[in-house]
């Protein structure tokens, strides 16, 4: 945990928040958050919690669901119950068997340095709209 006297902010299971959240210490999300999270410390998305946000934090642990891009200066941990959709940048990544992840990953010592994602939260493609096709590699 971050060095702030081991203080953790708890967002209750019956809480639904939309907007921007910033904190220096640690936060544990038990409810629903939608928007943007900027943190110096640690974010824990608990089992049963939903986070639809662009997230930048020191460490991120996911037990629940995250939809959005995540940047972690230190590490991201996806536990066995984790469900994540979005791009991920982290210095270190731990993925437990059973975790679900859809997106792009950039991991390494220098990966999170200066990395910024757009402020937009990822959204599902609209019905009837096809994803852009990838070009076929040339065959010989």
Evaluate whether 31 touches 94 at the Cβ level (below 8 Å): no
The contacts of residue 131 (CB under 8 Å, 6+ apart) are 125
Q: What is the structure's pLDDT at 112?
A: 67
Write the CA distances from 112 to 7, 32, 38, 72, integer angstroms: 25, 26, 14, 6
What percent of the chain clears pLDDT 70, i.e. is strictly above it?
76
Instruction: State the Cα–Cα distance between residues 121 and 69, nearest whole angstrom.
Output: 7
pLDDT tens sequence across 33-48: 999 999 999 999 999 9
Give bridge partners of residue 56 from the DSSP assignment.
Answer: 38, 71
Q: What is the structure's pLDDT at 135?
A: 47
Evaluate whether 20 touches 38 at the Cβ level (below 8 Å): yes
- Where residue 72 falls among pLDDT bands split at 50, 70, 90? very high
CB atoms within 10 A of CB 79: 17
Q: What is the structure's pLDDT at 109?
A: 85
Copy the structure tokens of residue 92: 């270190």
């Amino acid at each position: 945990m971050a060095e702030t006297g081991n203080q953790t902010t708890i967002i209750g299971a019956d809480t639904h928040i939309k907007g921007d959240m910033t904190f220096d210490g640690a936060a544990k999300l038990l409810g629903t958050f939608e928007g943007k999270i900027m943190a110096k410390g640690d974010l824990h998305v608990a089992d049963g919690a939903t986070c639809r946000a662009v997230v930048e934090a020191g460490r991120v642990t996911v037990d629940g669901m995250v939809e959005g891009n995540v940047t972690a200066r230190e590490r991201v941990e996806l536990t066995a119950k984790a469900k994540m959709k979005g791009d991920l940048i982290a210095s270190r990544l731990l993925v437990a068997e059973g975790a679900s992840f859809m997106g792009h990953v950039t991991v390494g010592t220098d990966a999170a340095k200066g990395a910024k994602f757009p402020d937009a939260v990822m959204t599902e493609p609209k019905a009837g709209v096809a994803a852009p096709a990838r070009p076929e590699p040339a065959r010989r």
